[in-house]
A and B are shown apart, each in its own frame.
Chain A
Amino acid sequence: MPIIVNLDVMMAKRKMSLNELSEKVDLTLANLSILKTGKAKAIRFSTLEAICKVLECQPGEILEYREE
């Protein structure tokens, strides 16, 4: 898929672990892992909002369009 999820990059920048993020955004580790590995087919605005709030970033920093 040409949409790349840069969640791991943002987590590394904020020095935050997956466990910590999952607790703060109230998402299961399994779902966060699906998002991080790029297996997700869709993301809810509420999830994106929570991630942006916790990581103090913009949606564009998490999602990126790259032509295949």
Chain B
Amino acid sequence: MKSKTKPILRILHIVSWIIFIGLCVRAGAILYSFFVSLFLNTGGAKNLYAGLNLSSLFMYDRVQYCIVVSLIAFISALKAYVFYLVIKIFLKINFVHPFSDTVATLVSRIGYIALFIGILSIIGMSYCEWLGRKGVDFTDLHQFMGAGVEHLLFAGVIVFISQLFKRGIEIQSENELTV
């Protein structure tokens, strides 16, 4: 392995940890503000997390509000889980024998979860657009539920890589069993 690759991977590992923690905090904060807005202070819906204002939806219908916030929190939690899997890959990967079943499973799981996030985001955005047509105002929602198509593209690439990885495992085992 090139001398530059190891420091880059180390930096990526650290960045993955930071993003994972950030996404966990985001999911937790959204859930916390959600419960506060429901049971303690209705004004909490004005700023659920980093400017996410769902007060208009809160006034419109509480059930719809619960659905949208649950969806946003669930998507954030899934994104955090993706980064948790990325961290696990960094911990498990061995560059002498890089193709292992564990890493292949993790890569394909990332692909399928990204696919799920993409589908959920598209459904969520369509749902919010439908609510928007009924007069509900959404601000800054795109950064929490947008990028559905990007996630689908990401999922496609990752699933493709996971298939390549499976072929890599076969080649590696063949190479190891060549005397």
Q: Which residues of A contact B (CB under 8 A)?
A: 27, 31-32, 34-35, 39-44, 47
B177 within 8 A of A: yes
Q: Which A residues are CB-close (under 8 A) to B40? A: none
Q: What's the Cα separation between A39 and B177 when bound, in Å?
A: 7
* Interface class of chain B by DSSP: mixed
CA distance A40 to B173 in the complex (A): 10
Q: A35 → chain B, closest Cβ, in Å?
A: 5
A27 to B179 alpha-carbon distance, docked (Å): 8
16 other contacts beyond A31-B179, A42-B174, with CB at 8 A cut-off?
Answer: A32-B179, A34-B177, A34-B179, A35-B179, A40-B177, A40-B178, A41-B173, A41-B174, A41-B178, A42-B177, A42-B178, A42-B179, A43-B178, A43-B179, A44-B178, A44-B179
Closest to B177 in A: A41
Chosen A-B contacts, 8 in total, with CB atoms closer than 8 Å, are A34-B177, A39-B177, A40-B177, A42-B178, A42-B179, A43-B179, A44-B179, A47-B179
Question: Binary interface profile of B, 149-179, with partner A (CB < 8 Å = 1, else 0)?
Answer: 0000000000000000000000001100111
- In the complex, which residues of chain B have a beta carbon less than 8 angstroms from the beta carbon of A44? 178-179
- Counting chain B CB atoms within 10 Å of each CB, the highest count among A32, A34, A41, A43 belongs to A41
The 4 closest A-B CB pairs, nearest first, are A41-B177, A42-B178, A35-B179, A31-B179
